Chains A and B, each alone.
Chain A
């Protein structure tokens, strides 16, 4: 069976500086993977390389989404193919109404996949349901995208987008940071609703606490632009004790 995400010996750079140094990762449908690693080890870089952010260049290796070479697709094509990145720092989009944005995104993806567009009433209904699950005030969603949202509200909004778009592969880049304890539960609950045998989830996090709520099948340690150790969920507990010192020494 083709893996949902297959990264093979990936090397990538930004502004001429190599950040990913031979990255290998395989995520199968139905699995939840956690990636942990020190600041600056290239976790966000990996997420940007996969989603195709301008400025991030693959110099070697491959990244395949359900067998399709991501480097051959534009950013929006990757999204339509089922890749979703919940940003570490979600952007504010002044002047673009949240509903307009959600409708444009969902229907653009559906159109590209040859599916029927969702009507406005159906969309509003769906967004209301999701807002309820994520304990978000609909009033917030009448504002422009993320404008004036607190850090935690932005993370909820990212989760709402993800739940609406129902991607095949979700990458959550520190979705837990900035969330208070209650919000962490609410957001984790939302993410858990997305767990399914057809979907893969990659959570990038610094904190073992998130993994109490979203139980991973596999935990990876990333250091200096590649994965240096892979284990089960007990690896996260171990990291909590020992920190990253030994991995940073190894990578150096």
Chain B
């Protein structure tokens, strides 16, 4: 594809003009060691501007049309907003190590950074930069080769997030949960995190996003993950954003030999949600499982776009995305599998399944295979359907009312994704979240 040619004649949209203005004024602020990276990223962004439907990767989520204005960059949250963040509900009952961000700012008082397990280091991004952590500067923005305007914007404006390092061989049982709660004012949040899992280490990372239904805000989040050889990471991203929120998130992962990534994306609310993942399987035996579930209603729109880059022998990727669409909601699944020359014995599979609960809902599915090796297995498929009337009858014949029968069957549909989550407590909490979300329909 490459860059779209610069079109000097195109008038910038209001949002693009505003972004340039903000970028110019923020230059002096923040960590000087990122200045070059930010400038290069903003230049890259400026060459294409906001992506629109003519960009293949953004075909169904026209950011240029959707982003009518740019909310101001977040300012530090008021105490009242911090207070209300104590009620952040996603996985509240699960024993995770919670690191809380309110309105884009790290809130140490609500975060648990005490008694870190041996081998685990967790810092806020601002903290890491302030103390001149060389490893952070060396790796941030350089985990993968990602040419994408939303990610470039994130790099140009990156605000707060975490830097996590799991030392070689460390096995961190307690999930690390980044809790992002929107603030009380309309704002744009640029969140950025870097996670390094060293040789043979294991960890679970949860990123949860929550916001008020009535609040207008934009989230541009990015997480870069390095999995060294034999490392293993389970990552769960749960978005329960407000109905007026726009959320764009980029996940960049690079996997060394025999590394294992198990990634989950749950979209349980939000006006526009885009999760784009760029996964590079760089060395033999790397394994990535990417799963997602969208439970959408009203006019919600969720887009999962995956790019799986198989660059080494015996690498495996499995993608399974499920959507439950009510009202006039929309789900997009785009998955591109690239098998580079020499990446023999690659095994790559993608499946997208959609359950339509309403005639007005729509699912778009676009798989793409680019294969340059001959001894590989690649498969993709998709299904779109309604609930099985015979099963609804069977449940009702046992006394279960229609709405409940539908909920049970819908939960079962989503259950296939949840069942793959490793920890039972997390599975149970996710099941409860999904069930709550489904019953909201009624």
Of the residues A78, A95, A104, contact of B404 by C-beta under 8 Å: A104
Q: Does B412 contact A53, Cβ atoms closer than 8 Å?
A: no
Q: Does B115 contact A (CB under 8 A)?
A: no
Q: Does A24 contact B (CB under 8 A)?
A: no
Q: Does B402 contact A74, Cβ atoms closer than 8 Å?
A: yes
Q: How far is the CA of A109 from the CA of B396 in the complex (A)?
A: 10
Q: Does B391 contact A95, Cβ atoms closer than 8 Å?
A: no
Chain B window 380-412, contacts with chain A (Cβ cutoff 8 Å), 1 for yes, 0 for no = 000000000111011111111110110011011
Of the residues A53, A75, A93, contact of B391 by C-beta under 8 Å: A93
Q: Does B412 contact A95, Cβ atoms closer than 8 Å?
A: yes
**Residues of chain A within 8 A of B393, CB atoms compared:** 53-54, 75
Determine chain B's interface SS by DSSP, over half rule.
helix
Distance to closest chain B CB from A84 (angstroms): 8
Q: Does B399 contact A100, Cβ atoms closer than 8 Å?
A: no
Distance to closest chain B CB from A153 (angstroms): 16
Q: Does A93 contact B400, Cβ atoms closer than 8 Å?
A: no
**Residues of chain A within 8 A of B14, CB atoms compared:** none
Q: Does B413 contact A95, Cβ atoms closer than 8 Å?
A: yes
Q: How large is the interface on A (under 10, 10 to 19, 20 to 34, 35 or more residues)?
A: 20 to 34
Chain A window 51-76, contacts with chain B (Cβ cutoff 8 Å), 1 for yes, 0 for no = 11110000000000000000000111
**Residues of chain A within 8 A of B409, CB atoms compared:** 93, 95-96
Of the residues A52, A85, A91, A96, contact of B408 by C-beta under 8 Å: A96
Of the residues B397, B408, B412, B416, contact of A75 by C-beta under 8 Å: B397
Q: Does A95 contact B416, Cβ atoms closer than 8 Å?
A: yes
Q: Does A51 contact B402, Cβ atoms closer than 8 Å?
A: no
Nearest A residue (CB) for B413? A95
Nearest B residue (CB) for A75? B396
Q: Does A79 contact B (CB under 8 A)?
A: yes
Distance to closest chain A CB from B263 (angstroms): 22
**Residues of chain A within 8 A of B397, CB atoms compared:** 51-53, 75-76, 78-79, 84-85, 87
A95-B412, A96-B409, A100-B408 are known contacts. Are A105 and B398 too (CB-CB below 8 A)?
A: yes
Q: A53-B397, A109-B398 are in contact. List 16 more A-B contacts (CB 8 A).
A: A52-B397, A76-B396, A79-B399, A80-B399, A85-B397, A93-B394, A93-B412, A94-B412, A101-B395, A104-B400, A105-B399, A106-B399, A108-B401, A112-B399, A144-B412, A165-B398
Contacts A/B (CB < 8 Å), 12 sampled: A52-B396, A54-B393, A74-B396, A76-B396, A91-B391, A96-B411, A101-B395, A104-B404, A104-B408, A105-B399, A106-B399, A108-B400
Nearest 3 A/B pairs, CB to CB: A95-B412, A79-B399, A105-B398
